[in-house]
Structure 1
Amino acid sequence: MSWVKKLLIVCLVGFFAGILTIVAMYFYVRNDLPDVATLKEVKLQTPMQVYTADGQLISQFGEKRRIPLKLDEMPPLLIQAFLAIEDTRFYDHPGIDIIGIMRAATVVASSGDFSQGASTITQQLARNFFLSREKKIIRKIKEVFLAFKIEQLLEKDEILELYLNKIELGHRSFGVGAAAQVYFGKTVDELTLDEIAIIAGLPKAPSILNPIRSPANARSRRDVVLTRMRAIDVISEQDYRKALAAPITSKLHGAQITASAPYIAEMVRQQMVERFGEEVAYSEGYKVYTTVQSEHQQAAKQALQQNLYNYDERHGYRGPVARLWQAELDANANKPDTDAEQQPVFTETDRPEHAEIIAYLAKQQGIEDLMPAIVLSVFNNSAEILLASEQTIMLEWDGLKWARAFINDERQGVAPKSAAAILAPGMHILVRQQDDQWRLSQIPAASSALVAVNPQNGAIQALVGGYSFSQSQFNRVTQAKRQVGSNIKPFIYSAALEQDYTLASIMNDAPIHQWDDNAGIAWRPRNSPPVYDGPIRIREALAKSKNVVSVRLLRGVGIDESIRHLQRFGFTASDLPRNETLSLGSASLTPLELVTGYAVFANGGFLVTPFVVDRVLNEQDEVIYQHTPEIACSACQQQDVATDELAASDDAAMTEADTEQQLYELFNTMQQDAPAEPEQAEPLLAEQVISNQNAFLIADALTSSVWGGGDWSKGTGWNGTAWRVQRLKRRDISAKTGTTNDSKDTWFSGFTTATAVTTWVGFDDANRSLGRAQWHANMGQDQSAGTESGARTALPAWLDYMTQVLPDFEQETRQPPTGLSSVRIDLASGLLSRSTDHTSSFEYFKIGTEPTQYSQSNVQQIYFDNDKKAEPDESELF
């Protein structure tokens, strides 16, 4: 038995040597081991997400894509798949799997194959959080000790949850939630068995096993996972066979965007980086809620894009993207044929095979709702086309007839008489669906912008900075300073009302000829159209957008005083030319600056600051930032005045604290019906830059731009430049058109008390004119021929947007503030009148500025003031 004793001694020595070796190794690496206690409070890097006000996802930003999930939110089959392939005895071992190590050692000894892994999920977690992937013995030793410490610190379910959220799975996806989204566009509970197996197979080598880069490698690894799952009996034989037969259908998916607002998202990204720094903004899982409503944003995008399509179609078809093959004209194509619509006009030569066409289309990029297609056959009034989806559809004549040839911005070709005049087989074209009909299309050449703000607090309600963010990230709402044309006139008229002018003042609408000694030529500003009405009231001149009247008002006020007044609206002095062209709109402003100016008229004279970020939440859904807007509060202003009067009285004395308390009680009363918001700072009051009376008078005058005036039955009726807005059937809308020289920029701005909206259309090349559209015989009444202008080019987008969103805003009758009176005036002279026929109407005046001359006595005067009120006869009010 001596050999038994010797063997026992050797084993004991080996055992104690092993123990000593392990202890020695531990002390050797102890100081380098990180503190695993940090796993208790680990913060996984998650991207920043940007939402609409109603909770729709706009975008997410961050280097790592991660969707953290609780273990009970993961399908049991997904968990079992990872355990089957990565660590079958996970719930049985203490952090390292001795059986697994022995198995791997046996494989190495017998075959020299080092591919057999022995790392447990706990070891992988230790490596992912604390160690590198370098293949060194010392790293493996550290990994083992860390695994033991992690097992002592955390429960098994906690370890598994951390692992499944932390593990790298390729294409910048970390964790199973992100992988399901990236590879399949699904949430984890929507994954099929074969998809689960694909994801579970990724940890070994995500860069070469992922189904996007290598479907073949992904299939092989998937089959290994499925086989392992079947071997341990977590799936049935039937499910196993079905999953093995499933094709690899993965493709790269982005975040599940549910609201399209990329320009808004980029604005938010920039603000968040400014506020928190790039590293924190992109990795702390912040949720940013914006001020935009998803339905309003979608309405803005659709309105802008459809308007650009309409402009593009007016100006003609610029031809196909490319031609895959040529076609020869059939010798019988021009012969009369009763079945012409069914007979191909072209015969084809050198046509590629169907599979080749599909392969070509698969490589082509669409943009927005434009889809690439190939023309297969052309008939008399239709064309057969093939989409990348392998769907064959017919382009009918109604979707083709617009496509006369584009010659230049001023000229278009003749109206086509057949589809053959437009298309030929082999053409690579773009198509889109409109009103359930396929339509030939093209990427718009012109650009546009649309922005809507809440005049009461500056919240941006919708914003679209161009046709497509993927085409151009230049945000025309905030970055494009363009000449504003007649959109400047309300601000010029506002300056005039601060002087000795009223809405009833008579101006001379007659041509101006002024010699310029410096230029050596005469300056001759003209009306557009060149119609002159002679003596005209200021209200009518603004509504009709009379250029020469605007020039004369600027002269009356003075250039320096006019610029000072315009600066009150937030416009920068350097953007305002110090000459008379200012009155015609030579100032260059962004759409956001312009709509902010119009908001002053909408809210009673207050300059609000536009903002888009409402609040920011952290991963625990705690509010870490809440924007406090400056509100326009006319009632607060009136309360201030009343308070000052009381303070001056001997019979009433109020402390400053009492005054502030009254203001905030008044504000809280105004907000009683508003939805509950997170606790925030006390409200801030916006600066009042013009009087309530001035704002009301301009806003009211701009309603005449919509509804006109006079009596059509008596031959005195007239339209304002925004008469098309009558379609909305709202009396609370004020609006103004704007067009610059040569139609290089077209504008439309309009507002109610609840929303102010500005649209712009032009080319990014500021020297290029929008031109004119000639009469199109195919379009009949469905066209808009003529020179492009604010009313023709920019207004339709504004109108389409407002058609969608105005039902969300209750119609309000704009009430005149105190300090105004309303008297009946003679429409021809602006003097007082007691007539009640079509020659007269009521007009608003600041008290003390009413006309003093009249043609008849007994003039009725109505005051809108607290101490001077008379009840008018309702029949005499307009």
Structure 2
Amino acid sequence: MKWLKRIIIALFSLALLGIGAIAAAYFYVLPDLPDVATLKSVKLQTPLRIYSHDGKLISQFGEKRRIPLKLADVPKPLLQAFIATEDNRFYEHNGIDPIGVARAALVMLTTGEKKQGASTITMQVARNFFLTRDKTIIRKVKEIFISLHIEQLLTKDEILELYVNRIYLGQRAYGVGAAAQVYYGKEVQDLTLAEMAVIAGLPKAPSTMNPITSPSRALNRRNTVLMRMHEVGYINQSEYQEALQQPITAKYHGAELDLYAPYVAEMARDYMVQKYGEEEAYTGGYNVYTTLDSGLQLLAQETLRNNVYAYDERHGYRGAAAVLWTDTQLPQEAIISALAKVAPVQGIYPAAVIAVGERDAQVLNAAGETQTLDWAGLRWARPFISDKRQGTPPKRATDILKVGERIWVRDNGQYLQLSQLPQVASATVSLDPMTGAIRTLVGGYSFSQSQYNRVTQAKRQLGSNIKPFIYAAALEKDYTLATLINNAPINKPDTRQGTAWRPKNSPDIYGGPTRLKVGLAQSINVMSVRTLRHVGLNAVIAELTKFGFDPTDLPRNESLALGSASVTPLQVATAFNTFANGGYLVEPYYIDRVEDAYGNPVEQASPTLACQPPAAAETPEAEADPFARLAAESQPGSEVHATEQAGQGDAVAQCGAPDARYAPHVISEQTAFLITSALKSVIWGGGDWSKGTGWNGTAWRAARLIKRHDIAGKTGTTNESRDTWFSGFNPTLTSTFWVGFDDHGRELGRVSWDPGAAKDQISGAEAGAKTAGPGWNEFMLHALDGTPEIAGIPPKGLVSVRIDLATGKLSRKTDHTSEFEYFISGTEPKEYITEGQDDSNIFIATPEEDLFQ
């Protein structure tokens, strides 16, 4: 009894010492214990994702890949795989598993090795959220106490949901959703049992048991997971055996992008970083939905590339990119190795010339495949001499290629074609006329070559693209489409620039008195200058500012009438939008909405609308410069493209909605219609060809290709063809194409006629209609394909009268000498042309006045 008492006292003392040690340990680490209540509102570090308007993934930013899932969305077998392997008594213990601890201690005492861990899933959650992975006693003590707190605060399912979303599973994948994508390119619900077992086996050693880097170890670990699932009864014998027979099929899957639109992705990334900060933007799990239409964006990218290739190739072949050997051919392995070091660019890839025939050549690509370059893919390659000169067209393949050269090739959709990396630059942007939503944006030929976004950053001289706005100012003052302006050399020069500036037509031909509509359609320079003089330079600048142009970009001299102002393609497209929508300056925007990782709205765009507000509403004051707003949108707190009020939804895009914003009406609906009518003539021309009075507008190629009458547009070319433009629209889409060199001093040059090329080849000096126009034509042809042609309906306040084509006066004739024209009511001509009347003498210019109406 004496020894029994001593034993009891000793045990009691040890128990007290244990309790005291635990209490001491608790109070020792208490100041360092985190507030586990934060788990109630934990924000998982999830990458930033950028989408098109129709939900296509454009890009993903962030170091950690994570796809947060609700527990109900995780397949039950996958949860069972984790529980069976990591913590079989998860739903029974209170955060610490005494049986597991005893089992791990027994294994360690009997083997001398730590073969079995004692950490529960709750302890792993504690470690992952609040602690490091340092193997110290203090860290373990903290882990235990945090786990006990977690079990008091959260339910078992809440703990398990945090675990499957937070656990690191290798290859930058955090959580089972990301792991399913990284290893198998699947949604988690599409995984097989064997694949689930692979993922469930990763927490023990994500690097050494990784199915990509260590497939044999991953196989052994997977089989262990399956065995545990079978032992505890989660799977039956047949399921177990079937899963064991499956091979390891995991391979790395990057972010599966549905749409490659890097310039817009970068704009959205920059906006989010500026507004939310880098850490929050990259880890907050935001989903940014842009306004891009994925189909139109792909089309814009393809047409821009095709147009750049066409320009580049008609100017000649600049020769091989490199020479890999001269006399002795390299071994195939060495050739492939050299080619593999050169990255493809936009579908153009490197190849080595291994044989040259009379009219074909054999090339080897980086995949080790031998391909044939037929004459169809070679014949274009006459030598490049300069931007203005090309050499003699080749007659044989040996005139072009030599064995041992490293060249560029591309598949043009029909055959393999010799190619080269273009040096010319280009950009295009398309807008919704009614809201300003950016439907396409391509800031350059290749984002990998240059991240410079020419749509928003490049200010280039506008050329004749400015003329519709000059004439709009004249219509707003007192001109009509039938106003006669003297198409004759200007005798009175502008000396504001310090020299006598005398503009000339291009070509240098003058036709005498010409109606305003024809002058715009044929882009007659002297008529634009005379119109500016009539309106007044200050008044024209004020009018251009209403279209969204920055007044500081507008030169204060008459060269403004020919487009000496430097502006961005986005500004140009926005200005042309005013003609497409009836005179409203809608703000361009590209972010439709921002959602959190679970799809909850964070921001919703509130676009300006091209319509009149309800009678009771007050129209907001117009911003003087919508592009200042576009630039300012990246600043924290900005509400240009997204308001902090969620839930507005699609209703904000409807006129009359409670929170709608209305665009300023910068020109009358009647003026917008009249300019649109003139811009249709740019494409369709006018007169009667059968009677010898027909004439072409500068964009006649668009009419031949697109063959619909609801399109309108304007070419633009600057001095020495350094910038070329084509901007145009139909009632549903406005688009601008620009082509030039990033080097402002380099001219686009000219092309000599190639007798062996197609009859419809482009030759002569590069210009808006030849250089930028084909890109716009191809884009609009396919963008509008399948959509109904929309007839232009004249707004109230317009009248239509028959006029004489020569004088612009009223006419009683119904033949080819007359046609119906629209006028703002009250401005229509009042005088009829008389039979045999000769008005030629009224257009004789005098030094004092050389502008006539």
TM-score (norm 1): 0.84
Aligned to 2:301: 301
What secondary structure, in the 3-state scheme, does the structure 2 residue paired with 1:553 have?
A: helix
Which residues of structure 1 form unaligned runs of 5+? 329-348, 642-672, 858-878
- Deviation digits for residues 448-499 of structure 1 (CA, Å, limit 9, x no counterpart): 1111112222121211111122222211111111001000000111112233
What secondary structure, in the 3-state scheme, does the structure 2 residue paired with 1:688 have?
A: coil
Q: Which amino acid aligns with 1:562?
A: V
What secondary structure, in the 3-state scheme, does the structure 2 residue paired with 1:18 have?
A: helix
* Post-superposition offset of 1:306: 1.3
259-268 vs 479-488, which moves further: 259-268
The one of 618, 622, 631 equivalent to 2:609 is 631
Residue 680 (structure 2) pairs with residue 703 (structure 1): yes
The one of 384, 393, 402 equivalent to 1:406 is 384
* 2:428/2:442 contact within 8 Å kept: yes
Residue 800 (structure 2) pairs with residue 822 (structure 1): yes
* 2:197/2:226 contact within 8 Å kept: no
Q: Which amino acid aligns with 1:585?
A: G
* 1:569/1:689 contact within 8 Å kept: yes
* 2:519/2:527 contact within 8 Å kept: yes
Aligned to 2:642: none
* Post-superposition offset of 1:743: 0.9
Report the CA distance shift for 1:146/1:469 in structure 2 as closer, same or farther (over 3 A): same
138-147 vs 432-441, which moves further: 432-441
* Post-superposition offset of 1:587: 0.5
User: Whole-Å Cα distance in 2 between the matches of residues 678 and 562 of structure 1?
Assistant: 31
Which residues of structure 2 form unaligned runs of 5+? 620-649, 836-853
Alignment of 1:159-178 (within 5 A): 159-178=159-178
User: What is the aligned-residue identity percentage?
Assistant: 54
- Deviation digits for residues 357-410 of structure 1 (CA, Å, limit 9, x no counterpart): 444444432222223333343333333333444444333322222222322212
Aligned to 1:693: 670
What secondary structure, in the 3-state scheme, does the structure 2 residue paired with 1:606 have?
A: coil
Aligned to 1:240: 244
Q: Which amino acid aligns with 2:812?
A: R
Q: Which amino acid aligns with 2:529?
A: V
User: Whole-Å Cα distance in 1 between the matches of residues 615 and 744 of structure 2?
Assistant: 42
- Deviation digits for residues 288-317 of structure 1 (CA, Å, limit 9, x no counterpart): 222222111111111111111111211222
User: Whole-Å Cα distance in 2 between the matches of residues 230 and 436 of structure 1?
Assistant: 55
Aligned to 2:272: 272
Q: Which amino acid aligns with 2:665?
A: Q
* 1:291/1:612 contact within 8 Å kept: yes
* 1:455/1:603 contact within 8 Å kept: yes
843-852 vs 28-37, which moves further: 28-37
Residue 371 (structure 2) pairs with residue 371 (structure 1): no
Residue 741 (structure 2) pairs with residue 763 (structure 1): yes
User: Whole-Å Cα distance in 1 between the matches of residues 4 and 349 of structure 2?
Assistant: 83
* 2:607/2:653 contact within 8 Å kept: no
The one of 455, 460, 463 equivalent to 1:485 is 463
Residue 586 (structure 2) pairs with residue 608 (structure 1): yes
What secondary structure, in the 3-state scheme, does the structure 1 residue paired with 2:594 have?
A: strand
* 2:85/2:228 contact within 8 Å kept: no
* 1:403/1:415 contact within 8 Å kept: yes
Aligned to 1:251: 252
Q: Which amino acid aligns with 1:22?
A: I
* Post-superposition offset of 1:513: 4.8
Alignment of 1:314-463 (within 5 A): 314-326=314-326, 328=327, 349-354=328-333, 356-463=334-441
Residue 693 (structure 2) pairs with residue 716 (structure 1): yes
What secondary structure, in the 3-state scheme, does the structure 2 residue paired with 1:625 have?
A: strand
User: Whole-Å Cα distance in 1 between the matches of residues 401 and 208 of structure 2?
Assistant: 45
The one of 758, 763, 783 equivalent to 1:785 is 763
User: Whole-Å Cα distance in 1 between the matches of residues 347 and 209 of structure 2?
Assistant: 33
RMSD: 3.3
799-808 vs 588-597, which moves further: 799-808
Report the CA distance shift for 1:151/1:499 in structure 2 as closer, same or farther (over 3 A): closer
What secondary structure, in the 3-state scheme, does the structure 2 residue paired with 1:407 have?
A: strand
* Post-superposition offset of 1:436: 4.2
193-202 vs 793-802, which moves further: 193-202
Report the CA distance shift for 1:386/1:206 in structure 2 as closer, same or farther (over 3 A): farther
User: Whole-Å Cα distance in 2 between the matches of residues 600 and 548 of structure 1?
Assistant: 25
Report the CA distance shift for 1:519/1:176 in structure 2 as closer, same or farther (over 3 A): closer
What secondary structure, in the 3-state scheme, does the structure 1 residue paired with 2:65 have?
A: coil
* Post-superposition offset of 1:636: 6.3
User: Whole-Å Cα distance in 2 between the matches of residues 357 and 8 of structure 1?
Assistant: 84
Q: Which amino acid aligns with 2:331?
A: P
Q: Which amino acid aligns with 2:815?
A: D
* 1:184/1:250 contact within 8 Å kept: yes
User: Whole-Å Cα distance in 2 between the matches of residues 525 and 846 of structure 1?
Assistant: 31
User: Whole-Å Cα distance in 2 between the matches of residues 752 and 508 of structure 1?
Assistant: 31
Residue 525 (structure 2) pairs with residue 547 (structure 1): yes
User: Whole-Å Cα distance in 2 between the matches of residues 736 and 748 of structure 1?
Assistant: 6
- Deviation digits for residues 821-861 of structure 1 (CA, Å, limit 9, x no counterpart): 2221111111221111111111222222222332249xxxx
What secondary structure, in the 3-state scheme, does the structure 1 residue paired with 2:409 have?
A: strand
Alignment of 1:446-595 (within 5 A): 446-514=424-492, 522-595=500-573
* 1:184/1:253 contact within 8 Å kept: no
* Post-superposition offset of 1:171: 4.5
Alignment of 1:13-92 (within 5 A): 13-76=13-76, 78-83=78-83, 85-91=85-91
* 1:300/1:801 contact within 8 Å kept: yes
* Post-superposition offset of 1:166: 0.3
User: Whole-Å Cα distance in 2 between the matches of residues 434 and 741 of structure 1?
Assistant: 33
Q: Which amino acid aligns with 1:706?
A: I
- Deviation digits for residues 64-114 of structure 1 (CA, Å, limit 9, x no counterpart): 321012344334554455446544554555433445545554666677656
Aligned to 1:836: 814
* 1:634/1:692 contact within 8 Å kept: no
Residue 849 (structure 2) pairs with residue 848 (structure 1): no
User: How many corresponding residue pairs?
Assistant: 798
Aligned to 1:683: 660
Q: Which amino acid aligns with 1:695?
A: A
* 1:451/1:464 contact within 8 Å kept: yes
Q: Which amino acid aligns with 2:332?
A: E
Residue 780 (structure 2) pairs with residue 802 (structure 1): yes
Report the CA distance shift for 1:638/1:853 in structure 2 as closer, same or farther (over 3 A): farther
The one of 221, 237, 244 equivalent to 1:224 is 221
